[in-house]
């Protein structure tokens, strides 16, 4: 929802309002969030070339190595539900993405994928899925144990994420005949490992192991009683040992060796199983199956030349580590059995989310200074009805709209000839001049001949004179009323060409638009047009045409530059259908600086513009704008 400027709204309140107005999804998937995650991940992984992208097509996260051995981490941009916690939604979005980033940072820093892939060469093709799944869940246990011991502040986000992801998920397969979930042998091993280490690290109980071992409990059961006995006698006794081994072994290659030996044991038991689960595991490896809580991010990755030992695995006391190695903030995790909201972590996450929202709203210092200027310009003296900012409802748009690529691409490719024309005009205006025959300055060789023919040759020096360099402030009024219709594309194209060309030669520009009968700040002074492209080239129209109101706003704003040795120009891009034509023309005539019309109608403009061109759709827009350019910078 757009934010209305109000003189009673202080800067902090305005910044907060602008940030809160940004759509939650826009914050989750925005460039500010991506940069924050990338900084965080690089710092933790020590892999400084790692890049992060936000991808709404994936469920959680993916890790890939590139041709240059750098890593690319994809983190979901989807909304992740929280059935067992109640964090502020925006804070939760950040906690989820940060937890996924730190999880992948742990893999980059401590997992040796190259060594693991080399070991897989000993297995048959049909055994790879089970091996990948078991390595992933066991290595997850190792790196998250390392993370929560080394950086305690990440304990709560990881625990909350795991708890929420697994609340409505199961490694098992729904059983329509007996009810509950049926577990092929491979799935039972996977679920039991997950159950063991989540209980050890986070105090989370999946309530799977007890049910699997109890033949009378149908909630989680095997396909056959024989498979249950195989699990209970041949595999279950080995599970606690392998979980504790990976959670306490610092060297990645040593962990891989232990995991591979365990995998071979499991595969030998699966060979005799009634339902081994290998086919399902081969199909789901790498797909981020729901029951895992995290994807199988161990496929097709290269761990690089050096893997650091997970030195926190064999030293559980986090106080032994340098405090600078911990996560941001200084709050310690609460009881491992809790998935309640941690107030300190929520406050920290909410602040980070608010910062990202403000950046997505483009709340820069330059923009805030311009909003201050507008408040000062429009506050009025309060003596007349309708005077002041409140009655004008000047708003800052915050909608998550997207620029039309056809308009934006044309603007970016076609503005340069116009920029060259503007640059030539400025260079001519600011050209240095030489004044000859002066008493002060440098000796003028071209006047020395006068010493031979005159007894009193006079002034023989010359002086370089620099003309006054004046800054230009150009404000654009864009008519987005309903009558513009399809003409808005031509208007946006004309606007974009002028904006990009003028900014290219150092001219300050701003855009005020009339949309839905409201005056909106499309682009403030001091902010680039390209960074505001989604506000400028979205193609929407609506509402009436009280253009006179917009002219008053712009005139008041530009009049604040009159004492600053600036040259001011106002452009009006409209179809020449103001709500009150007489008042509109009178306002233009009373303006003390040039008002230039770009008329999108077929007929010549009726307003009393200083200069105008008709640029209806189908006309040669570049030529029309060149005509204006020759007369603007004078």
Q: Scan for tokens 């995290």, then name that residue.
A: 294
Q: 246 and 143: one domain?
A: yes
Top-confidence residue, 248 or 371: 248
Per residue in 170-201, pLDDT tens? Answer: 788 999 988 999 999 999 999 999 999 999 98
User: What pLDDT score does 462 carry?
Assistant: 55
pLDDT given for residue 485 in this prediction: 92
Least confident of 75-89, 383-397, 610-624: 383-397
Mean pLDDT computed over 312-326? 34
Is residue 307 assigned to a domain? no
Least confident of 19-23, 111-115, 277-281, 347-351: 19-23
Which of 147-151, 354-358, 372-376, 451-455 is the most confident on average?
Answer: 147-151
- Per the domain annotation, does 299 fall within a domain? no
pLDDT at 302 over 50: no
Asked whether residue 139 is domain-assigned, the answer is yes
Mean pLDDT score of the chain: 80
Domains: count for the chain = 3
Closest Cα to residue 352, out of 25, 5, 37? 37
498-554 per-position pLDDT tens digit: 999 999 998 999 999 999 888 999 999 988 898 889 889 999 999 887 888 889 889
**Surface-to-core class of residue 52, CB atoms within 10 Å of its CB (0-12 exposed, 13-18 middle, 19+ buried):** buried
Tokens for 321?
Answer: 């580590």
- What CA–CA distance (Å, rounded) separates 415 from 562? 29
Shared-domain flag, residues 152 and 86 = no
Provide the pLDDT confidence category of residue 66 given band limits of 50, 70 and 90: low
Provide, rounded to the nearest whole percent, the portion of the chain with pLDDT above 90: 40
Per-residue model confidence as pLDDT tens digits over 194-225: 999 999 988 888 889 999 999 999 999 999 99
For residue 292, is it within any domain?
A: no
Give yes or no: residues 270 and 384 share one domain: no
Is 572 in a helix, a strand, or coil?
A: strand
> Distance of CA 78 to CAs 73, 226, 337, 491, Å?
15, 42, 27, 36
The answer to whether 451 and 547 have CB atoms below 8 angstroms apart is no
Same domain, 89 and 162: no
Which of the residue ranges 293-307, 409-423, 460-474 would you say has the lowest mean pLDDT?
Answer: 293-307
- Assess if residue 434 is contained within a domain: no
Residues 379 and 524 in one domain: yes
Q: How far apart are CA 6 and CA 567, in angstroms?
A: 28
Same domain, 139 and 184: yes
pLDDT bucket at 299, cuts 50 / 70 / 90 = very low
Domain end marker among 329, 361, 393:
361
Regarding whether 257 and 125 lie in a shared domain, the answer is yes
Average pLDDT over residues 328-350: 59
* pLDDT in the model for residue 69: 65
- CATH number where 522 lies: 3.40.50.410
pLDDT of residue 390: 42
- pLDDT at position 288 over 80: no
Q: CA dist 528 to 46, 480, 514, Å?
A: 34, 21, 20
Is the pTM here over 0.75, yes or no? no
Q: For the segment 227-258, what is each residue's pLDDT rounded down to a tens digit?
A: 999 999 999 999 999 999 999 998 999 999 99
Cα–Cα distance measured from residue 183 to residue 232, given in angstroms and rounded to the nearest whole number: 13
The percent of residues above 70 in pLDDT, for the chain, comes to 78
**Residue 400 counted as domain residue:** yes
The domain in which residue 247 lies consists of: 112-286
Same domain for 27 and 43?
yes
**Predicted pLDDT of residue 460:** 54
Same domain as 471, residue 598: yes
């Amino acid at each position: 929802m757009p934010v209305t400027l109000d003189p009673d709204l202080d800067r902090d309140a305005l910044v907060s309002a602008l940030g809160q107005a940004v759509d939650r999804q826009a914050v989750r998937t925005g460039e500010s969030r991506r940069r924050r995650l990338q900084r965080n991940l690089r710092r933790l992984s020590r892999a400084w070339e790692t890049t992060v992208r936000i991808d709404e097509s994936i469920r959680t996260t993916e890790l890939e190595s590139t041709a240059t051995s750098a890593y690319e981490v994809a983190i979901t941009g989807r909304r992740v539900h929280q059935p067992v916690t109640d964090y502020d939604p925006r804070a939760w979005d950040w906690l989820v993405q940060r937890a996924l980033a730190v999880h992948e940072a742990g893999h980059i820093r401590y997992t040796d994928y190259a060594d693991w892939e080399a070991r897989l060469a000993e297995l048959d093709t049909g055994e790879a899925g089970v091996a990948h799944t078991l390595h992933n869940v066991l290595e997850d246990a190792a790196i998250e144990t390392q993370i929560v011991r080394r950086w305690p502040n990440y304990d709560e986000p990881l625990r909350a994420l795991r708890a929420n992801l697994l609340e409505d998920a199961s490694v098992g397969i729904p059983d329509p005949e007996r009810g509950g979930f049926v577990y092929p042998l491979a799935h039972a091993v996977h679920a039991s490992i997950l159950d063991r280490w989540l209980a050890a690290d986070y105090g989370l109980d999946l309530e799977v192991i007890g049910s699997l071992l109890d033949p009378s409990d149908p909630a989680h059961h095997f396909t056959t009683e024989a498979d249950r006995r195989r699990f209970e006698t041949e595999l279950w006794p080995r599970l606690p040992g392998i979980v504790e081994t990976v959670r306490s072994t610092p060297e990645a290659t040593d962990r891989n060796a232990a995991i591979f030996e365990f995998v071979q044991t499991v595969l030998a038991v699966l060979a005799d199983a009634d339902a081994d689960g290998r086919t399902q595991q081969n199909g789901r490896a790498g797909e981020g199956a729901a029951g895992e809580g995290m994807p199988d991010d161990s496929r097709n990755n290269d761990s690089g030349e050096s893997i650091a030992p997970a030195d926190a695995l064999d030293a559980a006391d986090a106080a032994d580590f340098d405090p600078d190695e911990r996560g941001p903030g200084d709050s310690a995790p609460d009881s491992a059995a809790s998935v309640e909201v941690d107030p300190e972590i929520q406050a920290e996450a909410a602040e980070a989310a608010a910062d990202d929202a403000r950046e997505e709203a483009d709340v820069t210092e330059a923009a805030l200074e311009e909003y201050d200027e507008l408040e000062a310009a429009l506050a009025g003296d309060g003596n007349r009805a309708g005077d002041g900012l409140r009655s004008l409802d000047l708003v800052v748009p915050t909608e998550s709209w997207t620029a039309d690529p056809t308009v934006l691409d044309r603007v970016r490719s076609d503005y340069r000839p116009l920029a060259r024309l503007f640059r030539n005009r400025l260079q001519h205006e600011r050209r240095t001049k030489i004044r000859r025959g002066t008493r002060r300055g440098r000796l003028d060789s071209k006047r020395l001949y006068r010493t031979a023919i005159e007894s009193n040759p006079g002034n023989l020096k010359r002086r370089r004179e620099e003309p006054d360099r004046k800054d230009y402030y150009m404000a654009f009024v864009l008519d987005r009323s309903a009558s513009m219709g399809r003409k808005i594309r031509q208007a946006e194209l004309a606007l974009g060409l002028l904006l990009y060309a003028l900014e290219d030669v150092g001219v300050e520009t701003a855009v005020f638009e009339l949309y839905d009968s409201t005056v909106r700040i499309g682009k403030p002074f001091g902010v680039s047009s390209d960074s505001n492209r989604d506000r400028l080239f979205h193609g929407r129209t609506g509402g009436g045409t009280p253009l006179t109101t917009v002219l008053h706003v712009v005139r008041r704003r530009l009049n604040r530059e009159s004492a600053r040795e600036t040259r001011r120009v106002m452009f009006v891009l409209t179809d020449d259908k103001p709500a009150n034509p007489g008042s509109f023309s009178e306002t233009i005539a009373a303006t003390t600086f040039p008002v230039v019309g770009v008329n999108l109608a077929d007929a010549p403009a009726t307003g009393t513009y200083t200069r105008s061109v008709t640029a209806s759709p189908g006309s040669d827009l570049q030529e029309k704008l060149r005509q204006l350019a020759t007369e603007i910078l004078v």
